[in-house]
Chains A and B, each alone.
Chain A
Amino acid sequence: ETGVTQSPTHLIKTRGQQVTLRCSSQSGHNTVSWYQQALGQGPQFIFQYYREEENGRGNFPPRFSGLQFPNYSSELNVNALELDDSALYLCASSLAGNLKGYNEQFFGPGTRLTVL
């Protein structure tokens, strides 16, 4: 069973640029959530995708957008990068809708984004 993978590992961009981060879900999972973790802070929920539709969003501006593909992999896009966007971006996958109550969410290792 393959775990959650993310690419790239590290990325350096300049202010105003656009970035795309990628995530492959754990096998069999249909839900992907994205989190932003600033240095020394806990992760903050950005949004979640379930079966290719956005299924909830945290307090992030519209320049943060996402996609989920039929194979349940996902992308996070950030436009007009700002210095404060520098953070570790975490992707997490889970299996929703199987009526088992709580379903564990598995995190990937993250993409470290630095905005200069």
Chain B
Amino acid sequence: QKEVEQDPGPLSVPEGAIVSLNCTYSNSAFQYFMWYRQYSRKGPELLMYTYSSGNKEDGRFTAQVDKSSKYISLFIRDSQPSDSATYLCATDKAAGNKLTFGGGTRVLVKP
């Protein structure tokens, strides 16, 4: 079993819809939780990070972490075709950037 599990999708939504992404993890030592976006033929770029449990909002993006259930979520409001990409969740035991990634979810936002 992988330490971080993520539904591979693809997830297809109409423009303007809310995109809901999630991951589960097994190691309770993870303290930092990130969401990355990866476009085709590009490296991942950080969207948001959260330390421990709680919610964090940045523009159209909201990240949630529930450490009691080992569940990570990302919500994208008012989705745009430019949001079409692979979204990767990642975890870290300390702020050391030795990340454990989920497998990624492909998202397609249709105009």
Contacts and interface: CB of A to CB of B under 8 A. Distances in A.
A105 interface: yes
Nearest to B97: A105
B91 to A, nearest CB: 11
Contacts of B6: 42
B46 A109 contact: no
B29 interface: no
A45 to B, nearest CB: 5
Interface residues of A, number: 28
A33 B43 contact: no
Listed residue (B4, B32, B42, B97) with the most chain A CB atoms within 10 angstroms of its CB:
B97
Interface stretch (A11-19, A70-78, A79-87, A89-97): A89-97
B46 to A, nearest CB: 5
A55 B104 CA distance: 26
A61 B102 CA distance: 21
